Amino acid sequence: MSLKWIDTLDIAIELSEKYPDVDPTSIRFTDLYTWVLELEDFDDDPKHCGEKILEAIQAAWIDEMD
List, in sequence order, every residue forming a beta bridge with 44; answer none if it has no partner: none
Q: Is 1 a member of any domain?
A: no
Number of domains in the chain: 1
Compute the average pLDDT of residues 4-15.
97
Q: Is 3 a member of any domain?
A: no
* Digit-coded pLDDT (tens) for 17-50: 999 999 999 999 999 999 999 999 999 999 999 9
pLDDT at 66 over 90: no
Q: Is 2 a member of any domain?
A: no
Domain carrying residue 29: 8-65
CATH number at residue 55: 1.10.10.600
Q: Is 13 a member of any domain?
A: yes
Q: Is 45 a member of any domain?
A: yes
> pTM of whole model > 0.85?
yes
- CA distances in angstroms from 11 to 16, 33, 60, listed in the order given: 9, 11, 9
